[in-house]
């Protein structure tokens, strides 16, 4: 648990046993800096890891901090574009990293943006290496339609990108799915779903069966991309919804956490 700002205070929380652990990452005060945080399970070492990515608008390369629960320690890595794809002139450096940071196929991934390029930054949890996953050129050029924002998601077990557009026809969510993980040529556009109009909304991922979860002024709404039917979910305090992810019960933190107050 952490905010989307630059707070260096992170809580690792196990709701199954009501235990938590407070972690302290590196504090930053740079103006224009933002951070994104992801949680992953390392199956090879039976360990949990936290990846904290910090991007800077001016002058500095993006940085990564990696926390390992087994060692209860952090280490820092600088992410340079040269390390991702070799030296390429006029490529630029990472100036922005967009949440969420999702876990799939043993890797954490998030959308990274340079001054000239947008791509998926992938972090392999087992060997702690970074790689670039290319987006489709068709995702970046939607016939001149203004793109509001892009959002990564796991759509029916596959890596997906939700692209939200807004023009005189309305607001739409374009769902692109990577049918073969890591292969840029396998991107395919599955759906174009009209969004709820006349209200502010935020994407919050999707369910296992592929329904979009959208937070609106009337609450949390699920949208079936095939039938386009909408269902208002009876969830209290939906304003606090962040991002949907699968939950699996565990005894982690039982021997190294603090008990929550009743």
The region of weakest confidence among 74-83, 98-107, 113-122, 196-205 is 196-205
Highest mean pLDDT among 102-111, 136-145, 187-196, 250-259: 102-111
State the average pLDDT over residues 148-153.
85
pLDDT tens track for 225-254 = 999 998 988 877 777 777 777 788 888 887
Q: For residue 26, is it within any domain?
A: yes
Residue from 64, 91, 96 nearest 79 by CA: 64
Query: Whole-number mean pLDDT of the chain?
Result: 84
Among residues 127, 182, 187, 183, the alpha carbon closest in space to that of 163 is found at 187
Does a structural domain hold residue 232? no
Domain that holds residue 101: 9-197
Among 146, 156, 209, residue whose Cα is nearest residue 178: 156
Question: Where do we find the tokens 């630029």?
Answer: 92
Residue 256 resides in a domain:
no
Domain contains 229: no
Number of domain units in the chain = 1
The verdict on residue 204 lying in a domain is: no
Give the integer Cα–Cα distance in Å for 257 and 67: 16
Does 171 map to a domain? yes
φ and ψ of 112, to 5 deg? -115, 145
Residue 53 falls inside a structural domain: yes
Q: Is pLDDT of 256 > 90? A: no
Would you list the DSSP string of 114-164?
Answer: ESS-EEEEEEETTTTEEEEEPPPHHHH-STTPPEEEEEEEEETTEEEEEEE
Question: Which CA distances in Å does 111 have to 95, 163, 226, 249?
Answer: 11, 12, 26, 29
| Residue 242 resides in a domain | no
Query: Per-residue pLDDT tens for 86-119?
Result: 555 556 788 888 889 999 999 999 999 887 788 9
Going by C-alpha positions, the residue among 161, 203, 205 that lies closest to residue 179 is: 161
Residues 167-176 have a mean pLDDT of 84
The token pair at 55 is: 């991007």
Which residue would you say has higher pLDDT here, 71 or 199? 71
């Amino acid at each position: 648990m952490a905010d989307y700002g630059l707070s260096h205070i992170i809580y690792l929380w196990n709701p199954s046993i009501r235990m938590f652990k407070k972690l302290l990452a590196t504090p930053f005060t740079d103006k224009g800096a933002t951070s994104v945080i992801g949680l992953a399970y390392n199956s090879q070492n039976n360990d949990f890891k936290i990846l904290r990515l910090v991007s800077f608008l001016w002058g500095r390369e993006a940085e990564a901090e990696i926390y390992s629960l087994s060692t209860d320690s952090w280490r820092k890595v600088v992410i340079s574009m040269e390390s991702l794809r070799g030296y390429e002139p006029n490529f630029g450096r990472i100036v922005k990293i967009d949440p969420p940071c999702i876990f799939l196929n043993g890797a954490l991934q998030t959308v990274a943006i340079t001054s000239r390029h947008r791509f998926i930054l992938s972090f392999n949890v087992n060997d702690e290496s970074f790689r670039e996953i290319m987006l489709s050129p068709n995702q970046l050029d939607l016939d001149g339609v203004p793109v509001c924002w892009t959002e990564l998601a796991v759509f029916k077990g596959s890596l997906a990108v939700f692209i939200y557009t807004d023009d005189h026809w309305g607001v739409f969510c374009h769902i692109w799915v990577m049918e073969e993980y890591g292969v840029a040529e396998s991107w395919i556009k599955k759906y174009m779903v009209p969004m709820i109009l006349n209200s502010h909304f935020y994407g919050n991922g999707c369910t296992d069966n592929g329904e979009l979860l959208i937070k609106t002024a009337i609450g949390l709404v699920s949208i079936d991309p095939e039938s386009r039917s909408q269902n208002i979910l009876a969830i209290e305090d939906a304003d606090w919804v962040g991002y949907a992810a699968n939950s699996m019960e565990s005894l982690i933190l039982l021997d190294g956490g603090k008990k929550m107050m009743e």
